[in-house]
Structure 1
Amino acid sequence: MGTIPSNQRQQPGSPIISDVLPKNRLINVFSSLTRQFDSVESRLNDASSNITVLAPRNSAIQGLPRKPWENPDDYARFGEAAAYEGSEGQDRARKNLERFVKAHVVVGSPWEEGVEGETLAGDKLRWEKRGEKIYIQPGDVEVDSVAEQVSNGEVWILNGVINYV
């Protein structure tokens, strides 16, 4: 994993995460979700605060057994029909979706192997390299590539999703 030399970080006019995230077609579903939450979008736009975005491929999000805004606990508590109905249901769905997005943003970059990172959702993650592949733990989520290295962090493309419940 390369890191960006300090002389390339935070120069005026340097690209930041919010500039490059929407340009990658492999992750445009996740990218569009980040723009729905001011707390996340402000971090993507903050050139003075480094982050690592763990962006699931479109196919990983589309292949989930449930939508990112669904939580099995909501169905158990409110029932299938009522879980996301009305304004309270919409609030629950929005909070679940925000948690999904925040679970994929690690505070800090560069993020070193074996070092525990904390997501905006408050979860602890680490990564390890096995052979030529990188995996996020817990969950053994495979990293497809480090797609971007910019002045305020990195964008990693994942072949799966981080546990967000």
Structure 2
Amino acid sequence: MPPSGGSPVEPPSGSEGGVMLSDVMGRDRSINLFAGFLRDIETAFRRLEDSSQNTTVLAPLNSAVEKLPRKPWEDPQDYGALGPNAYEGGEGRERAQQNLRKFVEAHMVPLSPWAEGEKVRPIGGDRELWWEERDGAKLIQPDAIEVVGIAGEVANGQVWIIKGVCHLT
């Protein structure tokens, strides 16, 4: 069951700097699962609407999200502590929403352009990420996640399509 507790954030009604990341997130069908998660996290989506905050979004392919051993809002520690109903009821939905926020924010680098080799912590994460070009491929390090392409480049950043998911720690 998806953790959304409310309706998705409405599209921007008129951003000042032209086309924003929020406008292009849902355009590429290969990343629509992640785009949907992002729209469910109001603080993350608002950042993508903000022309004063540049961001590089590392959007995993649908296939990468589908290969995860569990849903992005599930945490094995929650199941260990709370049992199989860890995400039931109001507290469970809130817990799932917090986990999903962490997942989404682990895929948001708080700058754009992002220079090769520049180490930066994602908005939600403790690990530093950087990228490097190797054998003609752009790889997000330290996990060598391949960048498939750029889904959008707009006034406040870029959306990079990646073949894997970024880990939180």
Q: Same fold (TM over 0.5)?
A: yes
Other-structure match for 1:110:
113
Structure-1 separation of matches of 2:138 and 2:150? 10
Summarize deviations over 1:2-29 as a string: whole Å, max 9, x none.
xxxxxxxxx9563111111111111111
1:60 matched to 2:64? The reply is yes
Structure-1 separation of matches of 2:77 and 2:98? 13
Other-structure match for 2:147:
143
Is the contact made by 1:111 and 1:117 (CA closer than 8 Å) also made in structure 2? no
Tell me how far 1:78 sits from its aligned partner.
1.3
Provide closer, same or farther for how the CA distance between residues 66 and 149 of structure 1 changes in structure 2, counting only shifts above 3 A: same
Structure-2 separation of matches of 1:97 and 1:12? 29
1:36 matched to 2:40? The reply is yes
TM-score for the superposition, normalised by structure 2: 0.85
1:101 matched to 2:104? The reply is yes
Structure 2 gap ranges (5+): 1-14
Identity %: 47
TM-score for the superposition, normalised by structure 1: 0.87
Moved more, 134-143 or 47-56: 134-143
Tell me how far 1:82 sits from its aligned partner.
2.4
Other-structure match for 2:8:
none
Summarize deviations over 1:86-107 as a string: whole Å, max 9, x none.
2221111111011000000000
Structure-2 separation of matches of 1:152 and 1:144? 21
Moved more, 123-132 or 62-71: 123-132
User: Amino acid of the residue matched to residue 108 of structure 1?
Assistant: L
Other-structure match for 2:21:
17
Structure-2 separation of matches of 1:151 and 1:90? 34
Moved more, 144-153 or 48-57: 144-153
Is the contact made by 1:148 and 1:155 (CA closer than 8 Å) also made in structure 2? yes
User: Amino acid of the residue matched to residue 98 of structure 1?
Assistant: R
Structure-1 separation of matches of 2:64 and 2:53? 28
CA RMSD of aligned residues (A): 1.6
- Structure 1 runs of 4+ aligned residues shifted over 6 Å read none
Is the contact made by 1:84 and 1:93 (CA closer than 8 Å) also made in structure 2? yes
Is the contact made by 1:52 and 1:106 (CA closer than 8 Å) also made in structure 2? yes
Structure 1 gap ranges (5+): 1-10
Tell me how far 1:122 sits from its aligned partner.
3.6
Q: How many pairs were matched up? A: 154
